[in-house]
Structure 1
Amino acid sequence: MKTFLTLTSLLLGLTPSFAQDQSGIPAEARAAAQSVKPEAIKAHMRFLADDAMEGRKPGTRGYRLAANYVISQFEALGLQPAGDEKTYWQKVPLRQWRVQEEGSSLAFIGKNGQEQPLTFGKNYTLSPVYGDEISEITAPVVFVGFGVTAPDLNYDDYKNVDVKGKIVAYFNGAPAAFPSNQRAYHGSAKLENAAAHGAVGVISFSLPTDVRNRMEASSGRVRQGTYRWLGKDGKPQRVFPELKGVASLGDSTARTVLAQSGRSLADIIAAANKSIPQAFPLNFSVRMKTETRSGGDITGYNVVGVLPGTDPVLKNEYVVYASHLDHLGIGRPVKGDSIFNGAHDNASGVAINLEAARMYASLPTKPKRSILFVGVTAEEMGLLGSDYFASNPTVPKENIVANLCLDMPFFFHSLIDIVPYGSEHSSMAKEVNTVAKYLGVKVAKDPIPEQVVFMRSDHFSFVRQGIPAIYIKSGTETGNPQLNGLKLNLDWRATIYHSPQDEIDQPFDFNAAAKHAQLQFLIGYLTAQNPKRPTWNPGDFFGTKFGSQQTVKSPGDTGK
């Protein structure tokens, strides 16, 4: 009889009751997930990526239009205002800084005192020195490999070398032998590490195989200026005033420098490729002058809505969904188009989280914990909106238990496998694996660790505050032996990413997008229902580094 009932249920599109126990997902949540609407995701993306949004750059009319659209969806779904002063808005104070090329310079000084001046934009670029209109340093240069200190991985490029009062030079990136996410973190924390070791300046350059930071690309970004968010004291955050000069060298200039070091250039590169620490003084000094001007202030806006929880106690805790609403605005025309619409980056993430919000709203009984949806600003300026929110949340920070981020999930083919960045660091892996199994998708490892994805979206702002977070992207399996998923991803990054061609008319697979929405919804739902807060895994790198900031237990957590 059970076989007959099972077959009948499957033919009718129903799920037999005993399957609930096997999946670990309550029936009402499964029903909500099965109601997913691919066409709704497409409709949200079409609006947010329309030319009328003018590329959604923070501080523009187009961004405001996009934000108002998201707020209208929040209201329609019954999400309550959770921003500043009982509104859906959270103000994010942003300030721009630009390096004045005509007043800035960089020169090598040989042992004989002879100077060799370099050309801005051709040989080098400079980063702003925040807070100093004119910053000048002259100091000897010490090469420090990747510039990484990782005691947990028994690696230190600064071992047995004194860099106090000196300028350090290092390769971009981090040792390839590091685990993917630690590699991403250490590759992005090198200014902080240089300052901690007493350096007064930094010079960075790329390995020959690293094409992401070439001078021809980076010089254009530098000329656009750099933004930081301002603290209550009006000062820029995430800056290192100890560093009086920060430069990046072009590839050929860097190779010339290393070739004159008295050591084999091939050996230096080989050691870096083998993840071998190395440090030694170079045989010259550098004179660096940076003239910095403030380019003005922008008031950015995050949009925040909340679906209140139903448990008398746990409703005071929050699972936060984040996706960045901004993009690059209007820029230099490419193929006759100057509007950077950002359909995939990241109208897609906003649209999918809106569909997850609709599934939450459809539940007959809402989750125990509250669900907070945040459309963050200024991600393209350096994760600024999410960093501001995570540092200054509109709900008590200690009551945020988890974050689910979505940014360019990549649905240009069927969703066969996923890469859940961050899940290996916390107990959220259980929810991820449960939902992946239910939806029939595989869990895969990071296929492109060299892209340091774990550091490049808004979930890391929450990790930095000690909050477990996950960020799900498509894996490389396509279900089509003629379609290489990894090549498709890399080709898209090389030709469409951050260009005006990122529009809604791309060959998106909206059924795959719908499965992303189901993943987002169900993982967050199970997290919201669990009496225990997510926890960092014992001894985890990120939990050890940041997790002490979140030590509160949920009232329902007995510790058993």
Structure 2
Amino acid sequence: MTYSKQTFLYTAALAATLLTGTLPAWAQDALNQIPAEARTVVQTVRPEAIRAHMGFLADDALEGRRPGTRGFALAANYLQAQFEALGLLPAGDNKTYRQAVPLRRAQVNEAGSSFAIVRKGSEQPLEYGRGFVLSPNFGKATSEVTAPVVFVGFGITAPELSHDDYDKIDVKGKIVAYFNGAPTNFPSNQRAYYSSTSKLENAVAHGAVGVISCSIPTDLRTRMEATATRLRQSQGVTRWVDKQGQAQRTNPELLGVATVSDSTARALFAGAGRSFDDAVGWATRNTPQAFPLSVSVRMRTQTTTMPDIRGENVVAVLPGTDPVLKNEYVVHVAHLDHLGIGKPVNGDSIYNGAHDNASGVGILLETARLYTSLPNRPRRSILFVGVTGEELGLLGSDYFAGNPTMPGSMVANFSLDMPFFFHPLLDIVPYGVEHSSLSQPVGIAAAALGVDIAEDPIPEQTVFMRSDHFSFVRQGIPALFIKSGFKTGNPQLDGRKVNLDWRGTIYHSPQDDMNQPFDFQAAAKHVQLQFLTSYLVAQADTRPVWNKGDFFGNKFGKKKDVK
């Protein structure tokens, strides 16, 4: 990736930041672009306020803030009250602070569902939960399909990266099988995109009627047997519903969508021209591949659809002052929801979501307070949104990004989700920085605060697709998703280990509560980064743009502004 010279001037010499003293002369040009009033306001950040917001939102009384529950309603009321106290104006539906987000959940009825391998007229039925799991079908109470199976590698068509697993093979009317993930030689964010539900959309585009996904044996995170996969299946799937009452992003053309175990995947390959292990070898060498398997599969999916629930986004605005630019919005987003009450772990069944994502909401609120402390409002308007349903599939942000409540256009998005502050904030990974002109303001802000910028240290986690910023990218809006890097300043503390251990033991568990070693000074620096970066965007003469020839800019950037 390429940045300007000033963006790379992040050395230890920047310990003398704008908050504590003068900067080296070589960085002064960048810092001169931060007006004095912003430099003054940013010094008033309050770590204790972030702690207080998190303490309320992650309290057991809110019962994990699952959408549609009393706990989420309490969290939404709290966020609205804080917005009102700051003097922010309502920016939701009908001049309120709320945007209704209708949500519909569907769940597979395991007893009425089945999966069988058909070989030479003989059927081999498999056991639900051991050999396979199915995704619900929102359009049909019972969906059935029997068709030949074609293996299509990773199931990816990426001409810009010279990779097409569907090249020279016809899958119309067939079931496609593919590996989870994407080639390791793809750039990090493109790898994240092609590892996502874009695979389902691609299968539909090629005429497939069903999908079977499986994992490369070394990819433990996406295996069907993984706890997270089974948990999601047991809780069902939720989608937002449009004004015509139709659940969205459901791919109704696919009559069966299955995830299978390693043993089932190997059985599907039996008798094919290439073995399962050979296909794994081709995949690990990032080589496109496609060939028919010598079997058909019969899938039957029985789906129970639950009554819709009312999800809510909480939306507030600080109006801009420029007669023209006030109709352009810089959007700060953090998801308000978490997982609610679930399976007990060590005697605790409340999934409090302190770091995921009471932390992001606390940082958003303190960022909003800095904005309202300015002696002069910025030129562009600033939107602050607490979204629902992130844990259910980025639902609230997807709904808001496609159905904005304010006239005008959203020009930039900054999302906060698990920013990681378990050690001093010495470097950041601003996901999305290489795609747009947002690299300049975040570079200036990082320089001002003595923070290095690092590349994605864990591309295998496909972080770029996994939070609310991507809902805005999908609508053609440049976005940044800023998380802590691995530098700790302590040779005895391995930042990578801290991060991965947390993800492996605390993430999405009841132990994500306030009894964790948070560094609230680091959280305060996240506030400063968010504020300074977006302030520079709000004051600029021109709106952010996608870089010329950028992957996401080409794919989504031509969408028209919603008026």
Q: TM-score range by the shorter chain?
A: over 0.9
| Counterpart among 215, 223, 227 of residue 234 in structure 2 | 223
The alpha carbon displacement at 1:14 in A equals: 5.9
The alpha carbon displacement at 1:215 in A equals: 2.7
**CA–CA distance in 1 between the matches of 2:64 and 2:390?**
13
Assess if the C-alpha contact under 8 Å between 2:486 and 2:495 holds in 1: yes
User: 1:427–1:10: structure 2 CA closer, same or farther, 3 Å change rule?
Assistant: closer
**What amino acid is the match of 2:451?**
V
User: 1:467–1:98: structure 2 CA closer, same or farther, 3 Å change rule?
Assistant: same
**CA–CA distance in 2 between the matches of 1:181 and 1:458?**
14
Assess if the C-alpha contact under 8 Å between 2:19 and 2:43 holds in 1: no
| Counterpart among 255, 259, 264 of residue 275 in structure 2 | 264
| Counterpart among 153, 158, 162 of residue 161 in structure 2 | 153
Residue in structure 2 matched with residue 284 of structure 1 by the alignment: 295
| Counterpart among 63, 77, 86 of residue 86 in structure 2 | 77
User: 1:369–1:284: structure 2 CA closer, same or farther, 3 Å change rule?
Assistant: same
**What amino acid is the match of 1:84?**
D
Assess if the C-alpha contact under 8 Å between 2:150 and 2:175 holds in 1: yes
CA deviation string 1:462-513 (max 9, x = no partner): 0000000000000011111111111111110010000000001100011110
The answer to whether 1:537 aligns with 2:542 is: no
**CA–CA distance in 2 between the matches of 1:416 and 1:259?**
51
**What secondary structure is seen at the aligned counterpart in 2 of 1:301?**
strand
**What secondary structure is seen at the aligned counterpart in 1 of 2:307?**
strand
**CA–CA distance in 2 between the matches of 1:33 and 1:109?**
65
| Counterpart among 512, 520, 526 of residue 536 in structure 2 | 526
Assess if the C-alpha contact under 8 Å between 2:19 and 2:449 holds in 1: no
**What secondary structure is seen at the aligned counterpart in 1 of 2:222?**
coil
**What amino acid is the match of 2:373?**
S
Assess if the C-alpha contact under 8 Å between 2:18 and 2:448 holds in 1: no
| Counterpart among 459, 463, 468 of residue 458 in structure 1 | 468
Assess if the C-alpha contact under 8 Å between 2:117 and 2:268 holds in 1: no
**What secondary structure is seen at the aligned counterpart in 2 of 1:73?**
helix
Assess if the C-alpha contact under 8 Å between 2:30 and 2:444 holds in 1: no
Assess if the C-alpha contact under 8 Å between 2:409 and 2:561 holds in 1: no
| Counterpart among 418, 421, 443 of residue 433 in structure 1 | 443
Residue in structure 2 matched with residue 3 of structure 1 by the alignment: none
Residue in structure 2 matched with residue 119 of structure 1 by the alignment: 127
The answer to whether 1:180 aligns with 2:191 is: no
- Where do residues 126-525 of structure 1 align in structure 2 (5 Å cutoff)? 126-188=134-196, 189-216=198-225, 217=227, 218-396=229-407, 399-525=409-535
**What amino acid is the match of 1:73?**
Q
CA deviation string 1:134-175 (max 9, x = no partner): 111110000000000001101000001110000000000111
Q: Which runs of 4+ in 1 moved over 6 A?
A: 9-12, 16-20
Q: Which structure 1 residue ranges, 5 or more long, are not aligned?
A: 1-8, 554-560
The alpha carbon displacement at 1:400 in A equals: 0.7
**What amino acid is the match of 1:244?**
L
Residue in structure 1 matched with residue 114 of structure 2 by the alignment: 105
The alpha carbon displacement at 1:266 in A equals: 2.8
The alpha carbon displacement at 1:250 in A equals: 1.1
**What amino acid is the match of 2:159?**
P
Assess if the C-alpha contact under 8 Å between 1:334 and 1:499 holds in 2: yes
The Cα RMSD (Å) is: 1.8
Assess if the C-alpha contact under 8 Å between 1:20 and 1:26 holds in 2: no
Residue in structure 2 matched with residue 556 of structure 1 by the alignment: none
Assess if the C-alpha contact under 8 Å between 1:319 and 1:372 holds in 2: yes
Assess if the C-alpha contact under 8 Å between 2:142 and 2:300 holds in 1: yes
Residue in structure 1 matched with residue 96 of structure 2 by the alignment: 87
**CA–CA distance in 2 between the matches of 1:11 and 1:431?**
15
Residue in structure 2 matched with residue 557 of structure 1 by the alignment: none
The alpha carbon displacement at 1:295 in A equals: 1.6
The alpha carbon displacement at 1:552 in A equals: 9.8
User: 1:314–1:267: structure 2 CA closer, same or farther, 3 Å change rule?
Assistant: same
Assess if the C-alpha contact under 8 Å between 1:105 and 1:288 holds in 2: yes
**CA–CA distance in 1 between the matches of 2:269 and 2:543?**
50
**CA–CA distance in 2 between the matches of 1:13 and 1:502?**
33
Assess if the C-alpha contact under 8 Å between 1:317 and 1:399 holds in 2: yes
**What amino acid is the match of 1:231?**
D
**CA–CA distance in 1 between the matches of 2:134 and 2:75?**
34
Assess if the C-alpha contact under 8 Å between 2:404 and 2:562 holds in 1: no
**What amino acid is the match of 1:347?**
A
**What secondary structure is seen at the aligned counterpart in 1 of 2:254?**
coil
Assess if the C-alpha contact under 8 Å between 1:80 and 1:307 holds in 2: yes
**What secondary structure is seen at the aligned counterpart in 2 of 1:296?**
coil
**What amino acid is the match of 1:286?**
V
CA deviation string 1:233-269 (max 9, x = no partner): 1001112111100000012221333354242333211
User: 1:20–1:307: structure 2 CA closer, same or farther, 3 Å change rule?
Assistant: farther
- State the TM-score, normalizing by the size of structure 1: 0.94
Assess if the C-alpha contact under 8 Å between 1:168 and 1:202 holds in 2: yes
**CA–CA distance in 2 between the matches of 1:10 and 1:94?**
46
Q: Which moved more, 1:128-137 or 1:454-463?
A: 128-137
The alpha carbon displacement at 1:437 in A equals: 0.7
**CA–CA distance in 2 between the matches of 1:94 and 1:351?**
25
Assess if the C-alpha contact under 8 Å between 2:268 and 2:295 holds in 1: no
Assess if the C-alpha contact under 8 Å between 2:269 and 2:294 holds in 1: no
Assess if the C-alpha contact under 8 Å between 2:429 and 2:483 holds in 1: yes
**What secondary structure is seen at the aligned counterpart in 1 of 2:499?**
helix
The alpha carbon displacement at 1:21 in A equals: 5.0
Aligned residues: 543
**CA–CA distance in 1 between the matches of 2:18 and 2:66?**
49
Assess if the C-alpha contact under 8 Å between 1:310 and 1:369 holds in 2: yes
CA deviation string 1:343-392 (max 9, x = no partner): 00000000001110010011001100010000000000000000000010
What is the identity percentage for the equivalent residue pairs of Structure 1 and Structure 2? 67
**CA–CA distance in 2 between the matches of 1:131 and 1:381?**
19
**What secondary structure is seen at the aligned counterpart in 2 of 1:548?**
coil
Assess if the C-alpha contact under 8 Å between 1:377 and 1:386 holds in 2: yes
**CA–CA distance in 2 between the matches of 1:17 and 1:335?**
51
**CA–CA distance in 2 between the matches of 1:364 and 1:260?**
73
Q: Which structure 2 residue ranges, 5 or more long, are not aligned?
A: 1-15
**CA–CA distance in 1 between the matches of 2:193 and 2:68?**
30
**CA–CA distance in 1 between the matches of 2:90 and 2:274?**
61
The answer to whether 1:30 aligns with 2:28 is: no
**What secondary structure is seen at the aligned counterpart in 2 of 1:403?**
strand
